[in-house]
A and B are shown apart, each in its own frame.
Chain A
Amino acid sequence: MAEYRTHPYDVLVIGAGGAGLRAAIEAAASGVKVGVVCKSLLGKAHTVMAEGGVAAAMANVDDRDNWRVHFADTMRGGQYLNNWRMAELHAREAPDRVRELEAWGALFDRTRDGKILQRNFGGHRYPRLAHVGDRTGLEMIRTLQDHGIHSGMDVHMECTVLSLVMDAGRVAGAFGYDREKGHFILWPAKAVVLATGGVGRAFKISSNSWEYTGDGHALAYRAGAELLDMEFVQFHPTGMVWPISVRGILVTEGVRGEGGVLRNSEGKRFMFDDIPDLYKAQTADTEEEGWRYTQGDKDARRPPELLTRDHVARCINREVKAGRGSPHGGVFLDIAWTKERIKDGAEHIKRKLPSMYHQFKQLADIDITKEPMEVGPTTHYMMGGVRVDGDTQMSTIPGLFAAGEVAAGLHGANRLGGNSLSDLLVFGRRAGQYAAEFAKANGAAAVDDAQVQSAAKKAIEPFERGPAGENPYKIQYDLQDSMQELVGIVRLENEMEQALGAIAKLQTRADKVGIDGNRMYNNGWHTAMDLENMLTVSEAITRAALLRKESRGAQFRDDYPDKSAEWAKFNIIARRAESGEMVINKRPVTELPAELKQIIEEMK
């Protein structure tokens, strides 16, 4: 019998990024007992890495902006597969959520008249991203952290949740271990909020941290919840490509927002060559107009570098494949050229993009105020996730809520930059509020010790196999290779079939994974525990991508390169059948109410 400690809560929040902390603050404010569990130290979650900004139609820079425009932009970006209710609430509530951060101590960059400054970003019609240079995520997480620690929540840092505990179809808590000592812990809870972030570690080239192993997605799936839109994985167009060891690290879209341009090896601004119909009316005709837009000219339209991420990523891919790439297999991103236009240009670049300057200088010996950067696509964001109710964020399992990157719906087939940080705030708050209400309305669920014991037994098995078992790191690397090659930015039926075969084989190897040493801070063991989650989400991504026989948003299929009117009507759901098999189904997109339809028409 495995021993474990028990920490009961009314609301248990799994994850301490923007979504988890915002949820915990809200739940604690309503007077219930709140616990937060996170895999890393407090304040280190992925949210800390966000750079460009948080989207909210505050109209501080351009007074034509309002929630309707933001709503329409989000729906257009998501190719109308979005949960319209989430897109609506998000656009309406984001401004208040951002202002609230200021009341908690955040210090955003300012406009001349002393308000929160907003910048341009791909797919947003007006300058909309509140930001702090290029370290907006740090500002946000630190603000929530510093406010949160005084709001009465308990934080269990460096603990990993392994499974959800269920009571007759309702969630009853979570079970896991602390990474430091390897002790098991049970957190019984009346309501659980998943805020575990994304899945980017399933791919080889990724901007995501080690935590992004799809834990929340897999926990929910194994507990019987529905996953939605899993085929939509966002590849950010600009990651570092050189040196190899830093491949994938993000180069913020802010570089292009500040006037950075993409060129191929012939020096051509290739983005002007291919502008999708949906965006023709909003895109600059000339380089000059594009430049004026980045400098705040309200009559100018955006340069094609600021088209949606999926499109820019594919154009870069095309240039590289056509032999017009940069020496290390990317294209050139040039911000240094803006020195011709701006007085003290080099200083200006350093002030606007301090982390980018730092990052290239330190990791690649490149001075971005003098030379162009080499960039290429990198796995960045998961649109797909737990299917939730738009208002409450409750999943299909009573008492189980999800918010932030682990939840799906807001972004549809593709997310606009800046819409994630605002997502965390708006829906983190909602999840916290409704989870607290659920906890108040429902008594404690029963915890079944047998479930706990079987989870503990499974967790210890790798030690019994010892070093003779499969190496967890190797399995992880092999999975990353397969997903990158076979289910990446350009997809094909036969390759994805191959990927399913590879995943099945890796699963067999993962069942035989072996670990050396003991349970104290053992990275090998931690990696072994992540494997099953990564394999589950990889399978869901692949199966959903196979079923969707069209190209839309972030999914590009070489064998079905066009959008299909038929597929515009469906989302895709992944669910675990009683037998343990993964079932994939179509689900009709929910019809928009007339007034929202009209907004979309007006903004076309």
Chain B
Amino acid sequence: MATQALFRIWRGDASGGKFQDYKTEVDEGMVVLDAVHRIQAEQAPDLAVRWNCKAGKCGSCSAEVNGMPKLMCMTRLNQLNLNMPVIIEPMHAFPSIRDLVTDVSWNYRVKKTIKPFKPRSPDAPDGTWRMQQKDVDRVQEFRKCIECFLCQDVCHVLREHHKHDEFIGPRFFVYAAALEMHPLDTEDRVADLKDKYSIGYCNITTCCRQVCPENITITENAIIPLKERVVDKFFDPLKHLFNIL
């Protein structure tokens, strides 16, 4: 039942590039990454692609497939229209390294600037803590993040306005939320969120939430509550009403 399909893959580096067409066989159940691997093995051995687990767990294989930010290893070909070329491009919000691989190191630098976890002193004499499942549920949602950076890729503040120096992007609002709402954490990051990380630039378009492969409710559960904390701390109650609406 193998059929042929056409893949239009962006090839190039920081100095520029172009789309190149590859025809290859596709079998039942194949994902986009399988097709890329097949092309690599048979036609373009130096085609650059980043991947690790091929199971949707590591967040390495992020790319734009037919314009949609996706994990290539979790995107099945039978969900795409194979009568048309399948267009595969690198993420646009980050500088190109080569072909489908982008330089995501900015994300690692940003994370380092966020104040780390600082627990309260232990609850029990043996140095352990007690927490109820319902109190950790909320933070566990954020900790599902696989750091694929697809949410960063679609956020207009980064993608179109290139505010990388001022704005940390949805991934790191999720990270900050996980710390701020951690039942044991005692650090305060609210002032930083307002001033250093410009959470105010986010206008809740929900683009980030829509592409998250882990289905993290980025906007409603992480960003809005953080914005509320900023408002509570820095603005008067009346303004508060306007800001969250």
Q: Contact residues of A with B, CB < 8 Å?
A: 40-46, 48-49, 99, 102-105, 107, 109-110, 113-116, 132-133, 135, 137-139, 142, 146-147, 149-150, 157, 180, 209-211, 242-246, 249-250, 355, 358-359, 362-364, 467, 471-474, 477, 515-518, 520-525
Contacts and interface: CB of A to CB of B under 8 A. Distances in A.
Contacts of B48: 520-523
Given A362-B74, A362-B76, A243 B182 contact: no
B136 A107 contact: yes
B79 to A, nearest CB: 10
A524 B128 contact: no
A255 B27 CA distance: 29
B156 interface: no
A535 B76 CA distance: 32
Contact of B119 (A103, A110, A473, A525): A103
B108 interface: yes
B60 A44 contact: yes
A142 B58 CA distance: 11
Contacts, number: 169
B154 to A, nearest CB: 20
B208 to A, nearest CB: 19
B170 interface: no
Interface in B107-136: 108, 111-112, 116-117, 119, 122, 127-133, 136
A355 to B, nearest CB: 7
B203 interface: no
B54 interface: yes
Contacts of B104: 41
Interface residues of B, number: 60
Contacts of A116: 128
Contacts of B236: none
Given A49-B58, A147-B117, A355-B57, A107 B140 contact: yes
A110 B57 contact: no
B45 A516 contact: yes
B109 to A, nearest CB: 10
Given A138-B57, A359-B55, A474 B41 contact: yes
A110 B137 CA distance: 10
Contacts of A44: 52-53, 58-60, 147
Given A42-B108, A363-B74, A48 B57 contact: yes
Interface string B179-196: 100101100000000000
Contact of B54 (A135, A138, A249, A362): A249
B157 interface: no
Contacts of A45: 52
A515 B99 contact: no
Given A48-B53, A209-B54, A246-B29, A139 B143 contact: yes
20 contacts: A42-B108, A48-B58, A49-B58, A107-B131, A109-B133, A109-B136, A116-B128, A138-B146, A147-B116, A211-B52, A244-B28, A245-B34, A471-B45, A473-B45, A520-B13, A520-B48, A521-B98, A521-B99, A522-B46, A524-B46
Contacts of B56: 358-359, 362
Contacts of A525: 46
Nearest to A96: B127
B128 A115 contact: yes
A59 B59 CA distance: 34
Nearest to B28: A243
Contacts of A110: 131-133, 136
A477 B45 CA distance: 14
A40 B101 CA distance: 12
Given A363-B31, A474-B41, A515-B45, A114 B132 contact: yes
Contacts of B144: 135, 138
Contacts of B101: 180, 521
B139 interface: yes
Nearest to B133: A110
A210 B46 contact: no
Contacts of B129: 102, 114
A135 B117 CA distance: 21
Contact of A520 (B30, B57, B98): B98
Nearest to B185: A105
Given A132-B143, A517-B46, A244 B55 contact: no
Interface string B135-173: 010011001111100000000000000000000000000
B49 interface: yes
A426 B149 CA distance: 31
B97 A249 contact: no
Contacts of B60: 40-41, 44
Given A521-B97, A523-B45, 16 more contacts: A41-B104, A44-B59, A46-B52, A102-B129, A105-B117, A105-B182, A110-B136, A146-B111, A157-B108, A244-B29, A249-B55, A363-B29, A363-B31, A515-B45, A521-B101, A524-B40
Contact of A99 (B46, B128, B179): B128
B51 interface: yes
B98 A149 contact: no
A146 B136 contact: no
Contact of B55 (A40, A49, A114, A522): A49
B5 interface: no
B108 A250 contact: no
Contacts of B140: 107, 132-133
A515 B54 contact: no
B49 A523 contact: yes
A471 B46 CA distance: 11
A517 B127 CA distance: 56
Contact of B27 (A109, A133, A157, A245): A245
B207 interface: no
Contacts of B202: none
B130 A113 contact: yes
A138 B56 CA distance: 12
A555 B125 CA distance: 46
A523 B53 contact: no
A139 B50 CA distance: 22
